[in-house]
A and B are shown apart, each in its own frame.
Chain A
Amino acid sequence: MQTKRTVFGNRLLPYAFLFPQLAVTVIFFLWPAGQAVIQSFQREDAFGLSTTWVGLANYADLLHDPTYLNSLKVTAIFAPAVTLLSVGLGLVFAVCLDRLVRGSRIYAALLVWPYAVAPAVAGIMWWFLFNPSIGLLPYLLAAVGYRWDHSLQPTDAMILVVIAASWKQVSYNFLFFMAGLQAIPKSMIEAAAIDGAGPVKRFFTIVFPLLSPTTFFLAVINLVYAMFDTFPVIHATTGGNPAQSTNILVYKVFVDGFIGLNLGSSAAQSVVLMAIVVTLTVIQFKWVERKVNY
């Protein structure tokens, strides 16, 4: 395909156009990332007065740090749970809306709203809803005999942060599934109906397989979101507690670095996180191309 090429009169002009974006990327991303990599090999005292080069010691320490291993475990539960819940609900809502004849636009608009809510605000909202003394949901749960207390019960706390983190992500997933469903030709569904497949069978044999590229893409995106962008949600609700039970990796980076002032370890943890996100992205690009087999 021939793409249109613009020829600039001045050789420097294209670079001038690129400069603002490049500047933002370099100052706010590449430079701090580079700093983190350097810091991860150093040990610095709390006041920043002396810095010593310690090589891989920060990384080695992580492997023996029970709180870090716990954090890994917590993330291994939290991230897949958020992904499953938000992708699942997004798909359910999209399929429901797709079957709707009337008023689908209104529902679509309402379902997209949560995405516009700031994560911290979303966290606070769920914190209020689940607040053991003033919240609505514990009151309802008490009626069925369950004593909800996310400030004492690790399981309750985990459920709270998973719901709070998934809530706004459902909107995002819903939008992608909507687009995915609309891309499936109606005649294919009709052909399956004539071929004797009922609605449920059609969904599992035709619709869901055809959505698999979307599902896979969203699974990776949501995993990355749950692992890296959920800091505000944790910070606004449980703060990683009780007993470290919701202290996910990205939150631990913040706690160790900014509260504990252990900059070296914090930097090493963020480098590990960076490695994970790079791996996930590579998997996504490699796989999406291979998985789309039609």
Chain B
Amino acid sequence: MSAIEITGVSKVYAGGVRAVSDVSLSIAEGEFIVLVGPSGCGKSTLLRMLAGLETITSGTVSIGSRVVNEIDPAARNIAMVFQNYALYPHMSVYDNLAYGLRNRGVPKADIDARVAEAARMLEIEPYLTRKPKQLSGGQRQRVAMGRAIVRKPDAFLFDEPLSNLDAKLRVSMRGEIRQLQRRLGVTSVYVTHDQLEAMTLADRIVVLNGGRIEQVGRPLDVYHNPASTFVASFIGSPAMNLAEAEVMGGSVAIGGQVVANGISGVKDGKLIVGLRAEDIQPAAPGTGVPFAVRYIEELGALRLVHGSVEGRHLTMALSPDLPLADEMKVAVAADRLHFFEDDSGRRMTR
């Protein structure tokens, strides 16, 4: 278990492509960090630099108190779980788990004990003599986890480990990974493009975009105070509604239609307003903004109503008990509005 310190790290590929730009991040001992972002945002490259599978163009990475820039993956004492599991197909599950220990000259009795312990923890004891081919996707995933656990590494690195599983299994494995990490207390860095995984697993989320950090924060902080329109649209499902708006004397207007009043601390002028779907609700009789319903998605516990206000597409999340109409009157929670700069998309301080 060790803290990880990333200082001003950049990665420029031979062709001149800049994958990661000046990323700095302090990861505390035992912390579960999730790197999240769309494909091509540099999250996997950053993880691979931590693992030592990619060279670091500039900046430093330290694991524990040691700068590891020039240290081989083998000597960094990290363990990695790959998206395709990368199990050794010609070895039994036992040998897969034992491989890293044997390479490090761990005595045979210790190997037996550690493999047995990991197998028990992951409930893969019955499969130790099988080949990876004879296992289901979920079992392979457990073996891959086991291979990381037996090593007792300073850090776990996860590279989209759940994306090859079906939806149901993904949810249960997600829970198991979280519990396991809590129990073992090993510093973990987890890469995913799934914001739901990020929200549910992370102690802190790191949102990456175009090789740069957009925001670092605890899941709920990121959800409630997105630092930019990018984070706002990436974190949370359904995505936050974003609309061009105008503020004039404390009133917010979308397409000329005033949707909220009594706003303080925001300069007059054009900006982008953000509204969570759950912050738009049907208005009290006789008040509200006209909302033209286009289509409805039933989620069971929730009902997503897609429609428009003055031609701007908005989504609201309603309780399924509420009555529906083609034309509805809605009200927005003025104190729950988010304001972003029109040009940069950065969050405006109020």
Identify the A interface with B (CB < 8 A).
Answer: 185, 187-188, 190-198, 201, 205-206, 209-210, 212, 293-294
The reply to whether B82 and A193 contact each other, CB–CB distance below 8 Å, is no
- Determine the distance from Cα of A185 to Cα of B88 in the docked complex, in whole angstroms: 10
The reply to whether A194 and B74 contact each other, CB–CB distance below 8 Å, is yes
The reply to whether A194 and B51 contact each other, CB–CB distance below 8 Å, is yes
The reply to whether A197 and B82 contact each other, CB–CB distance below 8 Å, is no
B185-199 CB mask vs A (1 if < 8 Å, else 0) is: 000000000000000
The reply to whether B80 and A194 contact each other, CB–CB distance below 8 Å, is yes
Q: Which of A194, A195, A209 contacts B90 (CB 8 A)?
A: A209
Q: Please give, as numbers and ranges, the residues of chain B lying within 8 Å of A201 by CB-CB distance.
A: 103
Q: Please give, as numbers and ranges, the residues of chain A lying within 8 Å of B133 by CB-CB distance.
A: 294
Which 8 A/B pairs are nearest by Cβ-Cβ distance? Answer: A195-B100, A294-B89, A196-B103, A191-B86, A187-B86, A196-B74, A187-B82, A209-B90
CB-CB nearest in chain B for A190? B53
Given contacts A206-B88, A293-B131, contact A194 B99 (CB under 8 A): no
Name 26 A/B residue pairs within 8 A (Cβ), A-sorted: A187-B82, A187-B83, A188-B87, A188-B88, A190-B51, A190-B53, A190-B73, A190-B82, A191-B80, A191-B86, A193-B73, A194-B51, A194-B76, A195-B74, A195-B99, A195-B151, A196-B74, A196-B100, A197-B74, A209-B90, A210-B90, A212-B90, A293-B131, A294-B90, A294-B132, A294-B133
- Determine the distance from Cα of A221 to Cα of B104 in the docked complex, in whole angstroms: 39
Q: Please give, as numbers and ranges, the residues of chain A lying within 8 Å of B202 by CB-CB distance.
A: none
Query: Given contacts A194-B78, A196-B104, A294-B90, could you give 5 more A-B pairs where the C-beta distance is less than 8 Å?
Result: A190-B86, A191-B80, A194-B52, A194-B53, A293-B90
- Determine the distance from Cα of A165 to Cα of B100 in the docked complex, in whole angstroms: 42
- Determine the distance from Cα of A198 to Cα of B74 in the docked complex, in whole angstroms: 8
Q: What interface size band does chain B fall in? A: 20 to 34
CB-CB nearest in chain B for A210? B90
CB-CB nearest in chain A for B105? A196
Is B11 interfacial (CB 8 A cutoff)?
Answer: no
* B73-112 CB contacts (< 8 Å) to partner A: 73-74, 76, 78-80, 82-84, 86-90, 99-100, 103-104
B49-69 CB mask vs A (1 if < 8 Å, else 0) is: 001110000000000000000
The reply to whether B82 and A195 contact each other, CB–CB distance below 8 Å, is no
In the assembled complex, the CB of A131 is this many whole angstroms from the nearest CB of chain B, namely: 47
- Determine the distance from Cα of A209 to Cα of B88 in the docked complex, in whole angstroms: 10
Q: Please give, as numbers and ranges, the residues of chain A lying within 8 Å of B100 by CB-CB distance.
A: 194-196
Is B140 interfacial (CB 8 A cutoff)?
Answer: no
- Determine the distance from Cα of A77 to Cα of B180 in the docked complex, in whole angstroms: 59
Q: Please give, as numbers and ranges, the residues of chain B lying within 8 Å of A194 by CB-CB distance.
A: 51-53, 73-74, 76, 78-80, 100
Q: Please give, as numbers and ranges, the residues of chain A lying within 8 Å of B99 by CB-CB distance.
A: 192, 195, 197, 205
- Determine the distance from Cα of A187 to Cα of B132 in the docked complex, in whole angstroms: 15
Is B147 interfacial (CB 8 A cutoff)?
Answer: yes
Q: Please give, as numbers and ranges, the residues of chain B lying within 8 Å of A190 by CB-CB distance.
A: 51, 53, 73, 80, 82, 86
B21-64 CB mask vs A (1 if < 8 Å, else 0) is: 00000000000000000000000000000011100000000000
Q: Please give, as numbers and ranges, the residues of chain B lying within 8 Å of A193 by CB-CB distance.
A: 53, 72-74
- Determine the distance from Cα of A192 to Cα of B99 in the docked complex, in whole angstroms: 8
CB-CB nearest in chain B for A209? B90
Q: Please give, as numbers and ranges, the residues of chain A lying within 8 Å of B74 by CB-CB distance.
A: 193-198
Q: Please give, as numbers and ranges, the residues of chain B lying within 8 Å of A187 by CB-CB distance.
A: 82-84, 86
Q: Please give, as numbers and ranges, the residues of chain B lying within 8 Å of A293 by CB-CB distance.
A: 90, 131
CB-CB nearest in chain A for B151? A195
Given contacts A193-B53, A194-B73, A194-B80, contact A185 B90 (CB under 8 A): no
- Determine the distance from Cα of A193 to Cα of B54 in the docked complex, in whole angstroms: 12
- Determine the distance from Cα of A188 to Cα of B103 in the docked complex, in whole angstroms: 15
Q: Please give, as numbers and ranges, the residues of chain B lying within 8 Å of A195 by CB-CB distance.
A: 74, 99-100, 103, 147, 151
CB-CB nearest in chain A for B133? A294
Q: Please give, as numbers and ranges, the residues of chain B lying within 8 Å of A294 by CB-CB distance.
A: 89-90, 131-133
